Amino acid sequence: MTTAARSITYAWIVLCAITIGSWWLAPGHSTHAATPSVAITTAVVLLGFVKGRLVIQYFMAVNTAPRWLKLATDAWLFTLWAAVLAIYLY
């Protein structure tokens, strides 16, 4: 297996682990009424950023792409999640 192929598998493992971990954070459990949580929402934003970056870097292979594409994708990702958090906290 090449280094790139191995990196894709490692990225997939981390992405799945974060996704399974987020099951406990979500409000969709019928056992109790959900309460708002700045901590959980901040965690969702940070983990969303990390997951998005893993997809862009390793699945989309932007880690070996030209600089303009790295900057464009990072700018989209950062602006989106920063705006989500800012609107939530406002």
- Across the chain, which distance is largest between two alpha carbons, in Å? 49
C-beta of 43: minimal distance to other proteins in Å? 9
Q: Is 74 in the site for other proteins (CB under 8 A)?
A: no
Q: Which of 8, 85, 1 lies closest to 54, judged by CA?
A: 8
Structure tokens at 17: 């682990």
Q: Is 31 in the site for other proteins (CB under 8 A)?
A: no
27 close to 78: Cβ distance less than 8 angstroms: no
C-alpha dihedral, 50 to 76 to 12 to 14, nearest 10°: 0
Q: Is 66 in the site for other proteins (CB under 8 A)?
A: yes
Q: Can you give the binding site for other proteins, defined by CB under 8 A?
A: 2, 4-5, 8-9, 12, 15-16, 19-20, 22-23, 25-30, 33-37, 40-41, 44-45, 47-48, 51-52, 55-56, 58-62, 64-67, 69, 72-73, 76, 79-80, 83-84, 87-88, 90
